A and B are shown apart, each in its own frame.
Chain A
Amino acid sequence: AQSVAQPEDQVNVAEGNPLTVKCTYSVSGNPYLFWYVQYPNRGLQFLLKYITGDNLVKGSYGFEAEFNKSQTSFHLKKPSALVSDSALYFCAVRFPNYGGATNKLIFGTGTLLAVQP
Chain B
Amino acid sequence: NAGVTQTPKFRVLKTGQSMTLLCAQDMNHEYMYWYRQDPGMGLRLIHYSVGEGTTAKGEVPDGYNVSRLKKQNFLLGLESAAPSQTSVYFCASSFGLAGALAEQFFGPGTRLTVL
Contacts and interface: CB of A to CB of B under 8 A. Distances in A.
Contacts of A71: none
B109 A43 contact: yes
Residues of A in contact with B, size category: 20 to 34
B58 A104 contact: yes
A43 B99 contact: no
Interface in B46-96: 48, 50, 56, 58, 90, 92, 94-96
A104 B45 contact: yes
B94 A43 contact: no
B48 A102 contact: yes
Contacts of A34: 102-103
Given A42-B109, A44-B106, A104 B100 contact: no
A63 to B, nearest CB: 14
A51 B102 contact: yes
B37 to A, nearest CB: 9
B2 interface: no
Interface stretch (A13-21, A79-87, A106-114): A106-114
Nearest to B33: A104
B107 A43 contact: yes
Interface of B: 4, 31, 33, 35, 40-45, 48, 50, 56, 58, 90, 92, 94-97, 99-100, 102-109
By Cβ-Cβ distance, the 5 closest A-B pairs, closest first, are A43-B106, A107-B42, A109-B42, A44-B106, A107-B43
9 contacts: A42-B108, A43-B107, A45-B106, A90-B43, A103-B104, A107-B35, A107-B44, A109-B40, A109-B42
